[in-house]
Amino acid sequence: REGLIPAAHTPGSSAGAGSGEFHVYRHLRRREYQRQDFMDAMAEKQRLDEEFQKKLERNKMIAEEQTAKRRRKRQKLKEKKLQAKKNKLEQKKQEKGQ
């Protein structure tokens, strides 16, 4: 509960309060507790959202790394096939030329 600012000038449950003042105090206390609970819930939601965003970012990075690795592998295989095709054509030219 860092940064919470309590409501100022709220009447207490005793200390010379009349019978009608207690109901006012109780109502104000209930509203203050609701406000604090709401702020706690919002802080928790924000924390969970930040964790979720970090997890998404981490998963995205992992996926990009895997994609890049597979891309390199495909490119290497493509170059290998192209080189094999060139070698085969050169071999045919040499056989034809002899």
What's the chain's average pLDDT?
87
Query: Whole-model pTM?
Result: 0.55
In 3D space, the residue among 60, 56, 79 whose CA is nearest the CA of residue 68 turns out to be 60
Tell me how far apart the alpha carbons of residues 9 and 33 are, in angstroms, rounded to a whole number.
15
User: What are the extents of the domains in the chain?
Assistant: 11-98
Amino acid at 9: H
pLDDT tens digit string along 19-42?
A: 777 788 889 999 999 999 999 999
Structure confidence by residue, pLDDT tens digits, 67-90: 999 999 999 999 999 999 999 999
Distance, in Å, from the CA atom of 98 to the CA atom of 90, rounded to the nearest integer, reads: 12
Of the candidates 44, 31, 37, the one whose C-alpha atom is nearest the C-alpha of residue 4 is 37
For residues 53 and 49, give the distance between their C-alpha atoms in angstroms, rounded to a whole number: 6
- SS3 of 90, please? helix
Residue 16 backbone zone (phi > 0: left; psi -120 to 50: alpha; other: beta): left
